[in-house]
Each structure stands twice: as C-alpha cells, then as structure tokens.
Chains A and B, each alone.
Chain A
Amino acid sequence: MHVFLDFETQIADLEGKIEELRQVAAQDPAMNIGEELGKLETKAAAQLRDTYAKLTPWQKTQVARHPVRPHFTDYVGQLVEDFTPLAGDRSFGEDKAIIAGLGRFEGRSIAVIGHEKGADTQSRLEHNFGMARPEGYRKAARIMALADRFCLPVVALVDTTGAYPGRGAEERGQAEAIARSTEMCLSLGVPLVSVIIGEGGSGGAVALAAANRVLMLEHSVYSVISPEGCASILWRDSERAKDAAAAMKITAQDLLGLKVIDQIIPEPVGGAHRDPARAIADTGAAIHQALQEMEGWTGQALRQDRRVKFLEIGRAGLV
C-alpha cells in the first residue's frame, strides 16, 4: 500500500477512487469504466504534478524522509555489479548505518559508500536508522583510503538525519571520526562524487560529501541541523520546524542557487518513491557523467579541484 504524506490527501482521495473503480470493474466485466477512469487518472496525475512542482521546504523534508524512498541498498542493487561490502573500522566495531564496499559501475571498479536507513522495522534497527557512530565514519575513511591506494573513484550516497547522538558514540570520539572522514574526502587523489539521495543531515552528511561533485536529488534536503532541531533551539518550539526548514534554505534548488551543490537530479513526478527504478537510473547517469568529466585528472588536480571548490563557497556570487 502506498504511504501518503499529510499534504497528499487530495492525491490519496483521487487514487483511492481510481482503485475502487478498478475493483468494482473487476467484479463486473460488463461495466464500462473507461471514460470515468480516464478522467480520474488525468485529474490525479495533474494533482500530483502540481503538488510536487511547488513543494515547500518542509514538504520536501517529508518526501526526503519518505519511508519507501529508495535507499543506499536499492541504488547499489541497481547500479553496481559485483558489489562486495567490506566491514569494520579495524579498531572497535562494525557500524551498519554506513555501508561501504567495492563494485563495478558502468564497467569500472569503484568504491561505494553511503548511509543506509533500512526499509522495515528490523532493518531500520540493524542500520540504526542511518545514524552512524564513529565506527561508521572510520570505516568510510578506511575504504576511501583503500580506494585511493588502488586508484578507484569513490561514489558516496548521503542519506542521514545526522550522526548518532549517543553515549558510546561520544566516548569513542564521534566528533573526531567525522572530522577525519571529512579530511579524508578532501585528501583523496581519486574522484569523489557525492549524491544527497534523501536527507543530508549536518556533520554526519558532510563527512561523506566534501566531494569534487556534489549532486542532489530534486526533493532531497541538506542542512546544518534538522528543521526540528533548529526550531527547538531558535524558536524554542520544535513545532516550528516548517519555519525553520524555510529559513535555513535546505532544498536542492536553494543550494544550487547558493552554489553549494553542482547539479540537481530530477525525480519522477511524485518523488523518487513513485518510480524508484527511474530515479536510480537517472542518478546513475548523473554519477557516470560526473566521473567522466574527471577522467584522466591527476591526484593533484583532483585535490586542487576540491579545495578550490570549497574555498569558493560563499565568497562570490551570492545575492
């Protein structure tokens, strides 16, 4: 069953009617529903298109967090052949909130790293809802270093509410682990392409996104703090998350305007979850193109490119 968001009630109504009509027609093959069904379908499609053409920042946050939005595992399953996950940070443990490994993408070997939120109760718990602990970031840094040694491009898929705020995570150096992972991104002598596929939450996202190319899906969000967190601090009321989402400028469209990201990957009408295969294929094509642009660049050129890119952010062209 499709999960509808709170702003999708009209769409839900129309699609519910379509479903009902189909069921009735299935009971009675003599019934002619063609015309009625066509009308409803046109209306529903228009409603979906219009709604998604003007999503508010808070609605985009909801879409980015949609329970059936495609996650890391879906992307890797469709885009990466011979995916070989590699586990552990070699000092404390294995953190499944971040998955990392080797695989073949468009015919070439790559390393792929990303947050995995999980798709049902059991897997969500297993992946800690995509909120990584220090071990996750240390594993990410380890795999990036491995990729660097073997000259493999790195693709990072970002999808996290944020790094896990827990007791053990703090004890084992959450802040240091994030800082080192960011540092590793910036020192790589191989291309690094990061895609925000859902939520880009704070430092926990940056740790995998200090990249040569940063792409965002059309309805993904990327922010310094969650809208709820910002609202509870600045408005002293987490119910003001809508206002915080708007004020912080967290949408892909805002971030492209601020020159923080390089490209927006359009999503199927109604969001990536309505047609995951297409959303993933389009993302794959964008990653492929970004990697091709950096084909043949030296390690020095790639590091320089990343450095210049980030140093330029906020320095010019903001109006």
Chain B
Amino acid sequence: MNWLTNFARPKVKAFFSKRNTPDNLWVNCTNCGSMVFHRDLIAQQFVCPSCQFHMRIGPTERFKAIFDGGLYETFDLPDVLPDPLKFKDEKKYADRIKESRSKTSQTDAVVSATGTLDGLGIVMAVQNFKFMGGSLGMAAGEALIRSAEVAIQKRAPFILFTAAGGARMQEGILSLMQMPRTTIAVQILHEAKLPYIVVLTDPTTGGVTASYAMLGDVQIAEPGALIGFAGPRVIEQTIREKLPEGFQRSEYLLEHGMLDMVVHRHDLRKTLSHITHLLMDRSPGKSDTPPRALDPGAHKIPSGVDRNNLQADHSIDSEISKEEEQRARLAGQTP
C-alpha cells in the first residue's frame, strides 16, 4: 500500500472543507473556554494562548512541529490480521476499526516517519488518541517494532509520542502480548545503543504505560498529561476516596521521580534536539571499550556494528553509506 498517497488526499480535503465552514474559524478551549482563532491555534501548535492548555494533537501536527522544515516521510508499517478474535460487543470490532479509519485517514493508531532534527536523522512514531483511544493492538505493536528496526537500520534515534488508554481489549490476549513484544523493540534499540526517547502525552495509561512508554532512555511529558497504570476512576472505586488534585498528571509524576522533565509543547523541538544530539555525540572509543587492565582484548577493534562515525555528519543517507564503508573496511582487515 502506498501510504503517502492514501494518507495525503483525504487530509487535504478535510482541511479545505473546514476552512469553508465559518463555524470552524473559532475554537473553544476545552479547559478555559476562551475563543481562539483557528489559524492562531495552528500557529500555537494547539496550545491555548490564554491558559496554556495542551490540546490533543495527531501525528501530522507532531511531525510538522518536530522535523526540520516540517518535512518528513512516513514509512509503511506491517499489515496485521484484522479482527483476529471476530470480536463483538455492542458493536463489531471490525466496524469500530472502519469508523476510526475514516475519521483519521490512518490504518491504525500509530504512524511513523523519518526526517531530520537540526540535521540529525530521526525516526519518530506517534500514537493517535483519535484512533480507538490510541489503543495498543497488533497493528500498533508491529508498528513500534518496525519503527525500532528502521531506527537501527538508519542508526538513528527513535522518538515516540505516546497517547493511549491502554491495550486494545477487542484483540484480547493478542493485545496483551504487545507488552512483551514492544519491550523487545525497546531492547533491540538499547542493544544498538540508539537513544529511545519517550514523550508522554495526554492520556497515556494501562498496558501502554506498563510497557514501552515507561522504558525510555529519557522520559519527557507534556504539561498536564494524565499518565498512569490504572485509571483514576478505577482507583477511586478501589480505595473509596477522592484522589488529590493533579494526581497522575505530568507534574505529579515528575515530583515522584517518574519523569526526567515536563516540557511545554513549544519547547519540545529544542529539547528533543538537545537530547538526541548529546546522546549521539560519541567520540571514538568511548563506548563498548572496557578499561585495558581488565580486558586483555581491549585493544582490538570491537566486533559488530561500528559506532565511531556518528558525530561527523548526521544526515541519514550519509550515515548509511559511511557505515557500509566502515563495514567494508573492517571486513577487509579481518584475516
């Protein structure tokens, strides 16, 4: 399937139809109620200018806000068996999927793209809460695994924006199995020594938080995002008391040591750029080399993929060709 063509067309249409409707020129802030001109809201990345409330946004807005020049390329994600359990509650799962697809023009909850961030090649994935609550099913699981693989292939950091109510119940145990499966995706990034940066957005709960969303090398959250394992309603029912103000919000998690930072949406690009550039700026021999005294083989060139070239030029293509060059060189040296 050609993702780009299928993705782009309905989006453009939707945009124009909105522009033609005067009702949509003004948007009500769901937090403070103030009226914001739609065009201003776009310029503000959907942060309310009056109260700084961060509205939920989707993959397109994220990609445009983070990648250099708003330029990026989405890549194909694996097809999965649709509706493996033939699940039906009050509605058929197959119908719920169809609805979400037409609403978002996405195949499933996760969209992934490559691009650059201040010149550094980046792989980015965004979970869209509008697609069945961003829920983690087989498609989202495969999407994250594929994204990690692409990051490794391109030797690029992986940035993930999470937003989900949790696992997708309609896929039963197969959705639960995405918890270990996505954890494997994180592990292969760790092994490749590539940064895995998580940006938690409103809301991130359930099995998503209890797997890949809490395993980032650096954990960032947008202000005021609901982040937790159990939902606040379930907790209130269990402990039979009212939860304190701000419970399970980003700032609360930061205070409890669960996050590295809470970052305003307008500062996210700069922060992500700093972190990824700092983590990728490794001088030769810094990593993987135990002290000589402890390892008699330390003077040998470490086997496996070489990481010494990463700080020079960060564009993805040159990275790949450099790595190939390096591999060929290493191969030539091996007796």
Contact = CB atoms under 8 A, between A and B. Distances in A.
Interface stretch (A34-42, A67-75, A227-235): A227-235
Chain A interface size band reads 35 or more
Interface string A63-91: 00000000000000000000000000000
Contact of A182 (B90, B179, B229, B230): B179
A202 B207 contact: yes
Interface stretch (B50-58, B232-240, B268-276, B309-317): B232-240
A186 interface: yes
Given A165-B230, A183-B215, A223-B172, A314 B80 contact: yes
Residues of A contacting B: mostly: helix
A165 B238 contact: yes
A264 interface: no
Contacts, number: 166
Contacts of A180: 214-215
Contacts of A254: 173
A94 to B, nearest CB: 20
Given A179-B212, A224-B172, A172 B81 contact: no
Interface residues of B, number: 54
Nearest to B238: A165
A289 to B, nearest CB: 23
Contacts of B263: none
B89 A260 contact: no
Between B84, B145, B231, the greatest number of chain A beta carbons within 10 A of the residue's beta carbon is seen for: B84
Given A166-B235, A170-B248, A247-B87, A313 B181 contact: yes
A313 B180 CA distance: 10
B17 to A, nearest CB: 32
Nearest to A168: B239
A248 B173 contact: yes
A143 interface: no
Interface in B164-209: 167, 169-177, 179-181, 183-184, 186-187, 206-207, 209
A314 B80 CA distance: 8
Contacts of B81: 314, 318
B114 to A, nearest CB: 22
Nearest 4 A-B pairs (CB), nearest first? A165-B230, A175-B209, A234-B89, A175-B229
Interface of B: 80-81, 84-85, 87-90, 138, 141, 145, 167, 169-177, 179-181, 183-184, 186-187, 206-207, 209-215, 227-231, 234-235, 238-239, 241, 243, 247-248, 252, 256-258
11 contacts: A165-B235, A179-B210, A182-B183, A187-B187, A206-B176, A210-B179, A224-B173, A234-B169, A260-B177, A311-B181, A311-B184
